[in-house]
Chain A
Amino acid sequence: MNKFFVALLATAFLAGLGAQTKAALVAYDPAITITTVKSLPDGIAFVNGDDINNNVWTRFYDGKLGIKGKVLWAVPQAQFDQKMNLAIAANDLPDIIPATLQQFKQLVDNGVAMDMTAVFKDNLSPLAKQMFDLDKGVALSQATVKGRLYGIPQLAGNTDSPQLIWIRADWLKKLGLNPPKTIDDLEKIATAFKTRDPDGNGAADTFGLAVNKDLFGGISDIEGFLNGYHGYSGDNDWIKTASGQIAYGAIQPEVKAGLARLQKFYKDGLLDPEFIVKDTSKVNESIVSGKVGIVFGQHFLPFWPLQDAKNADNSADWRPYPIVSADGKPAQPITGGSAAVIYVINKKCKNPEAAVRLLNAYYSKDLPLSADFDDSFHKIDATKDRAQVPVFQYAFVQGWHPQQNLFIHQGVRDYFNGKQTDKSKMIFWVKDNTEQCEAALKGDKSKWCALMWSGPDGAFSVIDKYWAGNQVKVSAYVGASTETMVAKMSTLNKMKLETFTKIILGQPITEFDKFVDNWKKLGGDQITKEVNAAAN
């Protein structure tokens, strides 16, 4: 993996791309107007008299691309879904529609989405194309329906999402335990955390494994545990069977075996006895107050809630470990799609290629690997009110390097192991992270999260090993939702959650077989058929 990146850096990016990206930024003459709507992420702010319709990006669009951008409405990210659903229902839509995956399907079905297959291919800049190539077509398949591309996926990559086990390393050390290699080890550790008073307060007030009532969702979930049984039961997990067919992960016998083991964990008191009423933020309370020592989750845990745990108790040394297997076969974490947002182009839009040009412009200005990279398009440093203003969030069409976070980690790691210690040669991303990791190592407690994220022993060191060892499984179907999926999937997911919870709480494991039957009858078989048809 690493060599691959170095090769990319050395050859493609620094050599010939500069000239090509410039050529890709052709301007409209006379200027055209493009409308869109914006989801404003947490922490966005406007300074120096800027607003969503007048900022570094819109001025650039206007001056260099001949595109007058107009944001019809903007809404905080948390409310975006609701507002967009209403706009779709009222058919009150702009030229470029940033849609969630469900909304994407709706827009295709109701005939709003323009077929972008040819326009996308003909207008994509070489740099942007590199990014889509690095993604190996995953994001594009998400925006493809019946072989036609109906939108531009906001490329984010699927590198980051494999599950990790986060464990209190200080507790391991105190009790003389080693990091787990198998599920049996994990059970031993959890038992020790429960019975051997790891916090030393003399009271039996700790338990082993943190799980939240929704069982899935990237934090305190059970996906990583079931992966240890080679079961894949996330809402969007599809697997390839031996016969080559695509089948739903959550109804496979491997999941049943994993659930049986979790049931035993619960019976032995290794899970929080009250987990069925605890949502993520309640579970985080247990983590921060030092009541639990193991939690499955994704890479972002150091930022939330583990940094809070560190603030509350400096000895809380949460560390990431690879997931473990129940048998001799190594456990494989699973990952899914590469995009959470798809830019749909309204059929009424007269200049669909403008959307692709906006994407090209984004990559050329915001991607640190680009010859035209300019960090004034990315952020404004310290103003009166904020430490940093993330101006890249103003852009109409965005996309990232699909392996960005992993790439950052590799740079940081090379700095700390002495391979590349010249900071002046570092690209923007890596430098920023390296400095924060150094601050954390010098004792700045508030930067601990950065160290445990991109640092040499952070979350991405484990994810790096997963990918390097070819250990990651990619869901066998990541494409657009099918018809029955839209209609039935949420009911089926609810049924899954209920059954899994019941089993963990001690109902006979045969409940699982009943669930599988019901799942198939209540639309699952139909969905499977549609998925297989869509994939071929």
Chain B
Amino acid sequence: MRIKTATGDRIFGIVNGTFFCILALLCLLPLVNVLAVSFSSSTAASAGIVTLWPVNFTLKSYQYAIAKPEFVRSFTVSVVRLLLGVGINMVLTIVCAYPLSKDRKAFGARGFYVWFFFITMIFSGGLIPWYMTIQTLGLGNSIWALILPGAVPVFNVILLLNFYRSLPVQLEESAYMDGAGAWQALWKIVVPLSTPALATIALFSAVGHWNSWFDGLVLMSDPKNYPLQSYLQTVVVSRDMTLYQHATKEQLEMLQSVSDRTTKAAQIFIATLPILLAYPFLQRYFVKGLTLGGVKG
């Protein structure tokens, strides 16, 4: 039997589809433009004639970016930060969320601890106390300054906590029946069952680590230790021309080289690449409902 669709539904479908296509294009086209500029000659780019397809195709700006010591160095810093940061975030999120997901009977002080964490989400000490604390702890200018202050992402803890609670209790109970302790139940039963949630928060924390630039700028006392986005900010930020009012020729020649749009575009594109690649890889975890079929009858 064919299901008849009402005209209203069809119109809604079309309008809806068009709306989201436009939205998707709005997000996609700027990226395509950056890509096109990065492959164009710098003359074409500065004349503003590059739109969605490279003009005078060249790989020059990529060769330049890859050979640039600052770029390579900060890329490495970012990769290290990502691996360390996401690893620490995930372990701490998991072990934090698990006890907090238990009910009052199992964990008496639960209410207190949930608020203890939650309150830091709403109130923060502010920029200057934050800066002074990290400096006083002696973390300044080290990679740990970028990782430890945000080691427990409370928002992610709350996400995961709620996910744990949605898991059937029987699964854990069966583990306890077979002689598992809390530790084993967590790592052998709960964690494998929560891969969709873990993938989501891993992605959050990876994107967060990869994209943050302000902490790098403020906490590193040597640009050598900049993560990639802090470095990129110095590249793309628009220059205050009043500084060039009394510039010497050497400074002006530098102005010329830093204003090159194609190398900016190439660096921006290389920097977005890891995240672009991570999405499709993690996506398969989002769709599967792993808990289905775990409890029978």
Instruction: Determine if B6 is an interface residue (Cβ-Cβ < 8 Å).
Output: no
Instruction: Determine if B65 is an interface residue (Cβ-Cβ < 8 Å).
Output: no
**A160-B245, A218-B242 known; A43 and B257 CB under 8 Å?**
yes
**A52-B222, A285-B46, A308-B47 known; A219 and B241 CB under 8 Å?**
yes
Partner of B254, one of A43, A157, A282, A289: A43
Residue pair A404, B223 in contact (C-beta under 8 Å): no
Interface digits, A317-339 against B, CB 8 Å rule (1 contact, 0 not)?
00000000000000000000010
Residue pair A157, B246 in contact (C-beta under 8 Å): yes
A400 to B246: give the CA distance in the assembly, Å. 10
Min distance, Cβ B213 to any Cβ of chain A, angstroms? 10
Residue pair A78, B234 in contact (C-beta under 8 Å): yes
**A42-B258, A303-B256 known; A289 and B245 CB under 8 Å?**
no
Closest to A341 in B: B243
Residue pair A43, B238 in contact (C-beta under 8 Å): no
What residues of A have a CB within 8 angstroms of the CB of B243 in the complex? 77, 340
A41 to B67: give the CA distance in the assembly, Å. 20
Partner of A285, one of B47, B218, B246: B47
Min distance, Cβ B220 to any Cβ of chain A, angstroms? 8
A300 to B243: give the CA distance in the assembly, Å. 11
Residue pair B252, A78 in contact (C-beta under 8 Å): no
A390 to B254: give the CA distance in the assembly, Å. 10
A379 to B253: give the CA distance in the assembly, Å. 14
Interface digits, B116-137 against A, CB 8 Å rule (1 contact, 0 not)?
0000000000011001100100
Residue pair A304, B252 in contact (C-beta under 8 Å): yes
What residues of A have a CB within 8 angstroms of the CB of B239 in the complex? 42, 78
What residues of B have a CB within 8 angstroms of the CB of A305 in the complex? 46, 259
Instruction: Determine if B217 is an interface residue (Cβ-Cβ < 8 Å).
Output: yes
What residues of A have a CB within 8 angstroms of the CB of B238 in the complex? 279-281
What residues of B have a CB within 8 angstroms of the CB of A476 in the complex? none
Residue pair B247, A300 in contact (C-beta under 8 Å): yes
What residues of A have a CB within 8 angstroms of the CB of B69 in the complex? 385
Residue pair B250, A390 in contact (C-beta under 8 Å): yes
A157 to B67: give the CA distance in the assembly, Å. 37
Min distance, Cβ A42 to any Cβ of chain B, angstroms? 4
A449 to B44: give the CA distance in the assembly, Å. 19
**A161-B245, A218-B245, A304-B252 known; A288 and B43 CB under 8 Å?**
yes
A433 to B248: give the CA distance in the assembly, Å. 11
Instruction: Determine if B58 is an interface residue (Cβ-Cβ < 8 Å).
Output: no
Partner of A304, one of B67, B135, B221, B255: B255
Residue pair A308, B46 in contact (C-beta under 8 Å): yes
**A41-B251, A83-B217 known; A288 and B46 CB under 8 Å?**
yes
A307 to B259: give the CA distance in the assembly, Å. 12
Min distance, Cβ B74 to any Cβ of chain A, angstroms? 11
> Could you say which of A78, A90, A298 has the most chain B C-beta atoms within 10 Å of its C-beta?
A78
A428 to B221: give the CA distance in the assembly, Å. 34
Min distance, Cβ A281 to any Cβ of chain B, angstroms? 7
A308 to B42: give the CA distance in the assembly, Å. 8
**A76-B234, A79-B234 known; A303 and B255 CB under 8 Å?**
yes
Interface residue tally for chain B (C-beta within 8 Å): 45
What residues of A have a CB within 8 angstroms of the CB of B249 in the complex? 405, 408, 432-433, 450, 453-454
> Could you say which of B43, B48, B135, B245 has the most chain A C-beta atoms within 10 Å of its C-beta?
B245
A201 to B180: give the CA distance in the assembly, Å. 82
What residues of A have a CB within 8 angstroms of the CB of B166 in the complex? none
What residues of B have a CB within 8 angstroms of the CB of A450 in the complex? 249
Partner of A79, one of B49, B127, B237, B248: B237
Min distance, Cβ B254 to any Cβ of chain A, angstroms? 4
Residue pair B221, A73 in contact (C-beta under 8 Å): yes
Interface residue tally for chain A (C-beta within 8 Å): 64
A285 to B51: give the CA distance in the assembly, Å. 13
Residue pair B246, A74 in contact (C-beta under 8 Å): no
Residue pair A79, B217 in contact (C-beta under 8 Å): yes
Residue pair A42, B48 in contact (C-beta under 8 Å): no
Instruction: Determine if B233 is an interface residue (Cβ-Cβ < 8 Å).
Output: yes
Interface digits, A75-102 against B, CB 8 Å rule (1 contact, 0 not)?
1111100110010011010000000000
Give the interface SS of chain B, mostly helix, strand, loop or mixed: helix
Min distance, Cβ B16 to any Cβ of chain A, angstroms? 31
Partner of B43, one of A41, A312, A379, A453: A312
Min distance, Cβ A399 to any Cβ of chain B, angstroms? 11
Residue pair B223, A75 in contact (C-beta under 8 Å): yes
Instruction: Determine if B155 is an interface residue (Cβ-Cβ < 8 Å).
Output: no
What residues of B have a CB within 8 angstroms of the CB of A26 in the complex? none
Min distance, Cβ A304 to any Cβ of chain B, angstroms? 5
Which chain B residues in 22-57 approach chain A with CB under 8 Å? 42-44, 46-49
Residue pair B255, A340 in contact (C-beta under 8 Å): no
Residue pair A289, B47 in contact (C-beta under 8 Å): yes
A312 to B261: give the CA distance in the assembly, Å. 14
Which chain B residues in 201-237 approach chain A with CB under 8 Å? 217-218, 220-223, 233-234, 237
What residues of B have a CB within 8 angstroms of the CB of A42 in the complex? 239, 251, 254-255, 257-258
Residue pair A300, B131 in contact (C-beta under 8 Å): no
Min distance, Cβ A153 to any Cβ of chain B, angstroms? 12
What residues of B have a CB within 8 angstroms of the CB of A43 in the complex? 250, 253-254, 257-258
Min distance, Cβ B201 to any Cβ of chain A, angstroms? 30
Min distance, Cβ A138 to any Cβ of chain B, angstroms? 12
Closest to A308 in B: B46
What residues of B have a CB within 8 angstroms of the CB of A405 in the complex? 246, 248-249
Closest to A387 in B: B253
A89 to B131: give the CA distance in the assembly, Å. 10
Instruction: Determine if A284 is an interface residue (Cβ-Cβ < 8 Å).
Output: yes
What residues of B have a CB within 8 angstroms of the CB of A340 in the complex? 242-243, 245-246
Residue pair B241, A280 in contact (C-beta under 8 Å): yes
What residues of A have a CB within 8 angstroms of the CB of B233 in the complex? 78-79
What residues of A have a CB within 8 angstroms of the CB of B19 in the complex? none
Which chain B residues in 62-93 approach chain A with CB under 8 Å? 67, 69
What residues of A have a CB within 8 angstroms of the CB of B246 in the complex? 156-161, 338, 340, 400, 405
A90 to B136: give the CA distance in the assembly, Å. 12
Partner of B132, one of A75, A90, A160: A90
A333 to B238: give the CA distance in the assembly, Å. 26
Instruction: Determine if A1 is an interface residue (Cβ-Cβ < 8 Å).
Output: no
Min distance, Cβ B146 to any Cβ of chain A, angstroms? 15
With contacts A76-B223, A76-B234, A279-B238 known, what are 14 further pairs, Cβ within 8 A? Answer: A41-B251, A72-B221, A75-B223, A90-B131, A159-B246, A218-B241, A218-B244, A280-B238, A282-B48, A288-B47, A300-B245, A308-B47, A400-B246, A405-B249
Can you show 27 pairs from A to B with CB atoms below 8 A apart? Answer: A40-B223, A74-B222, A76-B223, A78-B239, A79-B234, A83-B218, A86-B128, A158-B246, A219-B241, A285-B48, A288-B46, A288-B47, A289-B49, A298-B245, A300-B241, A300-B244, A300-B255, A303-B255, A304-B255, A308-B43, A311-B43, A340-B243, A379-B250, A385-B69, A390-B254, A432-B249, A453-B249
Mark A residues whose CB is within 8 Å of B.
Answer: 40-43, 51-52, 72-79, 82-83, 86, 89-90, 92, 156-161, 217-219, 279-282, 284-286, 288-290, 298, 300, 303-305, 307-308, 311-312, 338, 340, 379, 385, 388, 390, 400, 404-405, 408, 432-433, 449-450, 453-454
